[in-house]
């Protein structure tokens, strides 16, 4: 570790008077560069996923893409479907939609059906 003289140290910009130096709330989205770095995919492929509707993203005023926090899990799902079932990206979109629909139907079924009574409370004896 080298010791730097005061003239060699980087000056840290100070915040203007009355303005906080740090944001008050954490950023709850990911930049394109962050997703590229964490997923290992090319930026053009991620843009293609957005165009195909496989990933949700929003654009800011400068036109940069911002992704929700669950994007990396969605990318992992896409990669598993692509590798395991050898599907093209259009078919993966359909499979993802169907899997989401199945999850919603199963959740609705679980919330609408009453719980089964315990086995001791049944009136008929078990078969075994």
Residue 21, pLDDT > 50, answer yes
Take residue 42 and report the two structure tokens written for it: 């090319």
Strongest mean pLDDT among 7-11, 23-27, 90-94, 113-117: 90-94
Domain ranges of the chain: 30-110
> Would you give the distance in Å from CA 21 to the centre of its chain?
29
Stated as kind and residue range, the H or E segment containing 118 is: none
pLDDT band of residue 125 (cuts 50, 70, 90) is low
Predicted TM-score (pTM) above 0.75: no
Pick from 103, 98, 30: nearest CA to 70: 30
pLDDT single digits (tens) 24-47? 777 789 999 999 999 999 999 999
Pick from 96, 91, 94: nearest CA to 74: 96
Q: What angle do CA 106, 80, 52 make, to 5 degrees?
A: 85
pLDDT band of residue 113 (cuts 50, 70, 90) is confident
CATH topology of domain 30-110: Multidrug-efflux Transporter Regulator; Chain: A; Domain 2 (1.10.1660)
Residue 10, pLDDT > 60, answer no
pLDDT band of residue 11 (cuts 50, 70, 90) is very low
Take residue 112 and report the two structure tokens written for it: 């609408």
Using a pLDDT cut of 90, give the percent of the chain over it. Answer: 61
């Amino acid at each position: 570790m080298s010791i730097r003289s005061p003239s060699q140290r980087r000056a840290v910009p100070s915040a203007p008077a009355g303005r906080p130096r740090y944001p008050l709330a954490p950023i709850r989205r990911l930049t394109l560069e962050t997703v590229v770095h964490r997923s290992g995919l090319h930026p053009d492929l991620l843009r293609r996923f957005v165009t195909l509707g496989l990933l949700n993203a929003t654009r800011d005023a400068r036109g940069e893409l911002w992704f929700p926090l669950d994007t990396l899990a969605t990318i992992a799902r896409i990669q598993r479907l692509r590798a395991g079932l050898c599907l093209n990206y259009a078919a993966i979109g359909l499979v993802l939609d169907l899997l989401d629909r199945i999850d919603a139907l199963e959740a609705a079924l679980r919330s609408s059906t009453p719980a089964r009574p315990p086995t001791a409370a049944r009136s008929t004896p078990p078969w075994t």
